[in-house]
Amino acid sequence: MSESEEMYLVTLAMLAEAGTELPTPVSELANRLGIQPVSVNQMVRKLEETSLVVYTPYKGIALTPEGQSRALRILRHRRLWEVFLVENLRVLPDEADELACRLEHILPSDAAERLAGFLGNPMISPQRKPIPKLTANESLSSDILLSQLKINQQSQITKIDADSAVQNFLSTEGLKAGVTVTVIGIGNAGAILVSADGCSVYLAKNVANCIWVKDPDISHNREFVP
């Protein structure tokens, strides 16, 4: 799906969220997108061919269930980016909204869920808008950062996002994909003490944030596939 098509879907979802009458009038959508109604009509026909919207002449446009699902997923990406930009890069909310509008189209869903986990699974954006949730069958990832585990929690490493030097260090300490780790202690500045195969290792926050593990509250029984 093109970025332009995604913008139509997410704009329809945002207009509905704001209370615009349904189905959404073509003129309303055109005004929100800042383009001519004739261009909207052309795109709507294209989206209707892929069963993402339904157009009723003289009334307007409505998202189909599939269109709604896709729109909310994109909107979720946008608002997660807003939270990240405001909380981690100290970007002002209005500027974050503009930047997130560009970033929402390039973030794969599995990466978006990792971003959500990193942010602590926020529910509200800096603009005080709800962050859409995924439905059960859309939950693409149950991985979280190692640093998100609590003391005495145990989980299995699924991936390590780090350069070769850090990967080699962790490997010598017995920390690699498929290994079960337990958090023994949490220190200042996010550093943690973990154990694996009977050995303990102290990890600085930046290193712990390179290690992804299964969410122990979701995937106790899921087997690791290398």
CA atoms within 13 A on the CB side of 62: 10
Q: What is the pLDDT of residue 181?
A: 95
Q: What is the pLDDT of residue 174?
A: 92
Q: What is the pLDDT of residue 133?
A: 83
Q: Are strands 199-203 and 192-196 parallel, antiparallel or unpaired?
A: antiparallel
Q: What is the pLDDT of residue 109?
A: 79
Q: Are strands 180-186 and 60-63 parallel, antiparallel or unpaired?
A: unpaired
Per-residue pLDDT reduced to its tens digit, 31-48: 999 999 999 999 999 999
What residue ranges of the chain have pLDDT lower than 70?
134-143, 217-226
Q: Peptide bond before 65: cis, by omega within 30 degrees of 0?
A: no
- Say if residue 179 is exposed, middle or buried (CB neighbours under 10 Å; 0-12, 13-18, 19+): middle
pTM for this entry: 0.60
Query: b vs e for 143-166, b when ≥16 Cβ sit within 10 Å of the residue's Cβ?
Result: bbbbbbbeeeebbbbbebebeeee
Q: What is the pLDDT of residue 111?
A: 85
Domains of the chain are 3-63 (1.10.10.10), 68-138 (1.10.10.10), 143-214 (2.30.30.90)
For residues 202 and 10, what is the distance between their CA atoms, to the nearest angstrom?
44
Helices (H), the chain: 3-17, 26-33, 37-49, 65-89, 93-103, 109-118, 164-172, 205-208
Structure-block tokens of residue 164 = 């070769």
> Is the Cβ–Cβ distance between 142 and 218 less than 8 Å?
yes
Q: What is the pLDDT of residue 221?
A: 38
Q: What is the pLDDT of residue 83?
A: 95
Say how many C-beta atoms besides its own lie within 10 A of residue 9's C-beta.
24
